[in-house]
Chain A
Amino acid sequence: DTGVSQDPRHKITKRGQNVTFRCDPISEHNRLYWYRQTLGQGPEFLTYFQNEAQLEKSRLLSDRFSAERPKGSFSTLEIQRTEQGDSAMYLCASSPRDRGLSGELFFGEGSRLTVL
């Protein structure tokens, strides 16, 4: 069990550029979540996958954000035309199905985005 892995850990980009983050969940976990966290705030839900199906997406999520989990394993989160307000820590978490409703999310170390 190597834990949830996220890449890159840090990304600095200029406003208007596209960025993509990757998340590799714990291998036997079928549920995968993306959250965003800014300084002094708790994690904010972005989207949720069960296997390859994207089952839930935040209403606050801009159309510039898209996430995929093509084979039910790793996931990518892409932000198009980045804005300074997108600067945040992007957290990925996974959960096994048998404990999915217990709430035990295993978080990765996050990908920190800075938009200049």
Chain B
Amino acid sequence: QKEVEQNSGPLSVPEGAIASLNCTYSDRGSQSFFWYRQYSGKSPELIMSIYSNGDKEDGRFTAQLNKASQYVSLLIRDSQPSDSATYLCAVRPYGNNRLAFGKGNQVVVIP
């Protein structure tokens, strides 16, 4: 079982729409959860972190965490062409200093 799973294929959304990304994780003891954005040919950059159940909003981004279901999601509102990138879900397993990453979901925003 993979530590972090992102199973959705590429997501195409029209400009201005909401993009929704999902992620599940296997270690029930995990306490820290992150979304990174990676543009093609570039390195990952942190866009959201969340540590407790519920929603966390930052600008057009909302992260949602449900520890009981071991589920993390990211919503991108009013999607812009500049949001076209791969979004990586990352989790810090209990007792670890490293982050475990999912394989990422590609988002394409169509003007």
Contacts and interface: CB of A to CB of B under 8 A. Distances in A.
B85 interface: no
Nearest to B104: A42
Interface string A21-33: 0000000000101
B49 A110 contact: no
A91 interface: yes
Contacts of B45: 107
A16 to B, nearest CB: 28
B100 interface: yes
A109 B103 CA distance: 18
Majority DSSP secondary structure for residues of A touching B: mixed
Contacts, number: 57
A103 interface: yes
Nearest to A3: B43
Interface in B18-38: 32, 34
B69 to A, nearest CB: 21
The size bracket of the interface on A is: 20 to 34
A110 B43 CA distance: 7
B44 to A, nearest CB: 5
Interface in A28-56: 31, 33, 35, 40-45, 48, 50, 55-56
Contacts of B110: none
A99 B79 CA distance: 30
A108 B43 contact: yes
A101 interface: yes
A107 B34 CA distance: 14
Given A45-B99, A103-B49, A109-B42, 5 more contacts: A33-B98, A42-B88, A56-B97, A103-B34, A110-B43
19 contacts: A40-B103, A40-B104, A41-B103, A41-B104, A42-B4, A42-B90, A42-B103, A42-B104, A43-B88, A43-B101, A45-B100, A48-B97, A91-B43, A100-B97, A102-B49, A103-B34, A105-B46, A107-B44, A109-B43
